């Protein structure tokens, strides 16, 4: 501080200013709740996330069978987000010794992926790269709108990935190629998607106009009915076996009829173009490319394209790259619990005047294997019926008159079962009523009394209630209830 005569005084102090604390992004699982059972062929996941610091953060959803270790969804954003994701299939699981290439295409920098590189998650080291030349050759663009998290987008004019993997028959007598494809448009002639062609129609496939096109060694084969759907994710698989070539679209198979005739191609796998064709570029997105060194079965390919019955786990995590949060894991039982119900003419619980029991049950559910109907008396199992189809109808006749218990069970191949409620059915014979003497007034009679004699018999020895009703045309004149155990 200074005065007008230039006198001054000093005061010094030290303060430490700390930045505000950084809180990890919040992430919550909404639905489905833990231990959910569903018979639908898909799982709809819903989660929310937010970063109260306003930081940019990454949200990811994960799922799997034994552990939630397969990435389904990712998004980088700020602020609150409410995500709904429909799971119709799972990414390919690593660890299969027969995998020779596995590209998740998620642009995962943690495993070395980036603008110019794809990392092979099979562990075989068959990575891919792109080399923009400045002469119309560019790298495919990454995005986060793939079938599973990220994907590669090809512009149809010069974007490719090039690998170092040779897949000719001299290298691998049998192979299976699998990928998820989302075409932006119909093909312009032939457009290569995944190929290893040096000019001799070697292994691979693409699009020819509106149809998928397969290389069969000496020519192109367009499976009849294997049409593309523009703007929709489709699962494609191609099996080169020793006796046949089979193309799969969303799990449906198309057989070529023989193994084709191939040379020893020296061209490794190219994604987004057919080098042997020249400039035959694909326009659209590709995700989850995998190649096996064997022929996958139809059931294995169905599993790649769909969710199967079984137990699934899911979780979410969010990170602002400084702090992170991970939710609990939740369990979902998909399509594994059969549904079983009694149908007519199964008797309801109660007394029935008959000496037989008809039981009819209907059961439904994925992988339903067995329906069992059981009949008990008060002490033991009396009879049992097994069926592998629904509905299931059984008739038990000539049964002694007593009380029985009926129930049924439906079983699935995954070891799950559902039981009906137990119905208690008592078989009885109805009492007989015999008119032994009847004295009724003739129309001309004038009398003040009426006599009516009848015999009631119950062979079961039950207590019988007898109701006597006398009426004229308009009024109830007399009513009496009599309970007796003797005729």
pLDDT on residue 321: 94
Q: How far is the C-alpha of 382 from the C-alpha of 178, rounded, in Å?
A: 54
Q: Calculate ∠ Cα 390-395-400, nearest 5°.
A: 145
DSSP secondary structure of 249-304: ETTEEEE-SS-----------EESS-TTTSS---EEEEEEEEEESS---HHHHHHH
Tell me if 119 sits within 8 A of 110, measured CB to CB.
no
* Residue 475 confidence (pLDDT): 59
**Count of other CB atoms within 10 angstroms of residue 15:** 4
Output the pLDDT for position 366.
63
231 DSSP assignment: T
Give the pLDDT confidence of 190-199 residue by residue, as tens digits.
Answer: 999 999 988 7
Q: What is the pLDDT of residue 140?
A: 95
pLDDT digits 0-9 by tens, 400-415 = 999 999 999 998 876 7
Measured at the CA of 237, the angle between CA 267 and CA 107, to 5 degrees, comes to 70
Q: Which two tokens stand for residue 49?
A: 């996330």
Blockwise average pLDDT, block size 10, the chain, 487 residues: 70 69 93 88 95 95 95 96 97 94 95 94 96 77 95 93 93 96 90 88 91 91 95 98 96 93 85 89 97 96 91 96 96 82 95 93 82 94 91 92 94 81 90 64 57 71 71 60 60
Distance (Å, whole) CA 381 – CA 386:
14
Q: What pLDDT, on a 0 to 100 scale, did the predictor assign at position 447?
A: 60
| pLDDT value, residue 295 | 98
| Domains of the chain, first to last | 26-90+310-334 (2.60.40.10), 99-302 (2.60.120.200), 339-427 (2.60.40.10), 433-484 (no CATH)
Distances (CA, A) of 294 to 187, 404, 462: 29, 57, 74
Please report the pLDDT score of residue 369 as a whole number.
84
Structure confidence at residue 299 (pLDDT): 92
| CB hemisphere CA count around 475 (13 angstroms) | 2
Q: What is the pLDDT of residues 281-337, one digit of tens each?
A: 999 999 999 999 999 999 999 999 999 888 999 999 999 999 999 999 999 988 757
Cα(first)–Cα(last) distance of the chain, in Å? 127
String of DSSP letters for 109-149? GGGT-BTTEE--TTSS---EE----SSS-BPPEEES-SSSS
- DSSP helix/strand/coil, 55: coil
- What is the pLDDT, as a whole number, of residue 471? 66
pLDDT score, position 265: 78
pTM: 0.70
Q: Over the range 72-95, which residues count as b (16 or more CB within 10 Å of their CB) and which as e?
A: bbbbeeeeebebebebebbbbeee
Count of CB atoms within 10 A of residue 459's CB? 11
């Amino acid at each position: 501080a200074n005065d007008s005569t230039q006198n001054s005084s000093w005061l010094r102090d030290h303060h430490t200013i700390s930045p505000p604390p950084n809180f990890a992004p919040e992430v919550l699982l909404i639905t489905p709740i833990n231990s959910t059972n569903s018979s639908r062929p898909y799982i709809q996941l819903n989660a929310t996330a937010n970063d109260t610091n306003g930081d940019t953060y990454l949200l990811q959803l994960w799922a799997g069978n034994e552990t939630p270790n397969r990435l389904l969804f990712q998004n980088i954003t700020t602020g609150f987000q409410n995500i709904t994701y429909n799971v119709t299939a799972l990414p390919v699981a690593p660890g299969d010794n027969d995998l020779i290439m596995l590209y998740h295409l998620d642009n995962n920098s943690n495993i070395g992926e980036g603008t110019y590189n794809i990392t092979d998650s099979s562990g075989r080291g068959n990575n891919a790269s792109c080399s923009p030349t400045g002469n119309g050759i560019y790298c495919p663009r990454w995005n986060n709108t793939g079938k599973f998290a990220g994907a590669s987008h090809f512009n149809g004019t010069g974007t490719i990935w090039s690998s170092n993997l040779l897949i000719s028959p001299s290298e691998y007598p049998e192979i299976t190629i699998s990928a998820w494809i989302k075409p932006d448009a119909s093909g312009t002639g032939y457009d290569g998607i995944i190929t290893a062609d040096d000019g001799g129609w070697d292994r691979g496939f693409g699009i020819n106009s509106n149809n998928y096109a397969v290389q069969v060694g000496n020519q192109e084969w367009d499976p009849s009915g294997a049409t593309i759907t523009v703007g929709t994710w489709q699962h494609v698989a191609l099996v080169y076996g020793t006796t046949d070539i089979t193309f799969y679209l969303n799990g449906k198979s198309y057989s070529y009829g023989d193994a084709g005739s191939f040379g020893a191609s020296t061209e490794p796998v190219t994604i987004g173009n057919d080098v042997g064709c020249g400039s035959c570029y694909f326009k659209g997105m590709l995700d989850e490319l995998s190649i096996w060194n064997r022929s996958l079965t139809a059931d294995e390919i169905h599993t790649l394209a769909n969710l199967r019955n079984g137990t699934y786990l899911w979780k979410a995590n969010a990170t602002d790259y400084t702090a992170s949060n991970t939710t609990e894991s939740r369990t979902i039982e998909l399509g594994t619990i059969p549904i079983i119900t009694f149908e007519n003419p199964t008797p309801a619980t109660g007394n029935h005047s008959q000496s037989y029991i008809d039981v009819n049950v209907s059961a439904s559910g994925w992988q339903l294997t067995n329906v069992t109907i059981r009949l008990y008396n008060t002490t033991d199992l009396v009879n049992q019926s097994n069926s592998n189809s629904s509905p299931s109808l059984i008739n038990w006749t000539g049964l002694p008159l007593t009380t029985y218990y009926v129930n049924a069970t439906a079983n699935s191949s995954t070891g799950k079962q559902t039981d009906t409620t137990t119905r208690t059915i008592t078989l009885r014979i109805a009492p007989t009523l015999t008119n032994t003497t009847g004295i009724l007034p003739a129309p001309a009679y004038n009398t003040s009394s009426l006599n009516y004699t009848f015999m009631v018999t119950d062979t079961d020895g039950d207590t019988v209630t007898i109701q006597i009703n006398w009426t004229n045309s308009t009024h109830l004149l007399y009513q009496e209830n009599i309970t007796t155990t003797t005729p």
